[in-house]
Amino acid sequence: MAEDLTIIQGSKEEQYQALIPQIKALIEGETDLVANLANIVSALKEQFGWLWVGFYLVKGDQLVLGPFQGPVACTRINKGRGVCGSSWAKAETLIVPDVEKFPGHIACSSLSRSEIVIPLINNGTVWGILDVDSEHLDQFNETDKQYLEQITGLVIF
């Protein structure tokens, strides 16, 4: 198991390409879901320095806060509410260039300006989401979507 993370400079794509093998090494052979989610969040936060990176897990009819890095967060989010709840309801990745313009946005932190949310899907069912917030407008794009979906696909539930 790898226990060190090498932070690299370069384009966003180069950073993801260097990070993914490291994430694979961090979670390889580990069967504990929370441990793997925690290491993924930490690796992403360390590499990119985003404001907030974390997982929410579906528990009944709500998303419940899981492993995260960043300021304190909303503990529970209803299906269809805010960016996270909307991603869960639609079972699709949502990229929000300006959270102030997203109808029903939940402001867990007033510092958040843009957001990307990736659903974790197993057998057609969303069982969690990866939520990433930035202090900058228009921080996330299709490159982030592609690689973050690849990273969340590494998680075995």
CATH label of the domain that carries residue 17: 3.30.450.40
Instruction: List the structure tokens of 73.
Output: 């967060």
Owning domain of residue 90: 12-152
pLDDT of residue 22: 97
Q: What's the Cα-to-Cα distance from 49 to each of 7, 70, 75, rounded to whole Å?
A: 11, 10, 22
Render each residue's pLDDT in the chain as its tens digit; 157 residues.
456 899 999 999 999 999 999 999 999 999 999 999 999 999 999 999 999 999 999 999 999 999 999 999 999 999 999 999 999 999 999 999 999 898 877 777 778 899 999 999 999 999 999 999 999 999 999 999 999 999 999 998 7
pLDDT of residue 91: 97
Three-state SS for 120?
A: strand
Number of domains in the chain: 1
Measured between its terminal Cα atoms, the distance across the chain in Å is 20
Is residue 110 included in any domain, yes or no?
yes
pLDDT of residue 110: 78
Residue 131: closest CA among 99, 79, 72, 83: 83
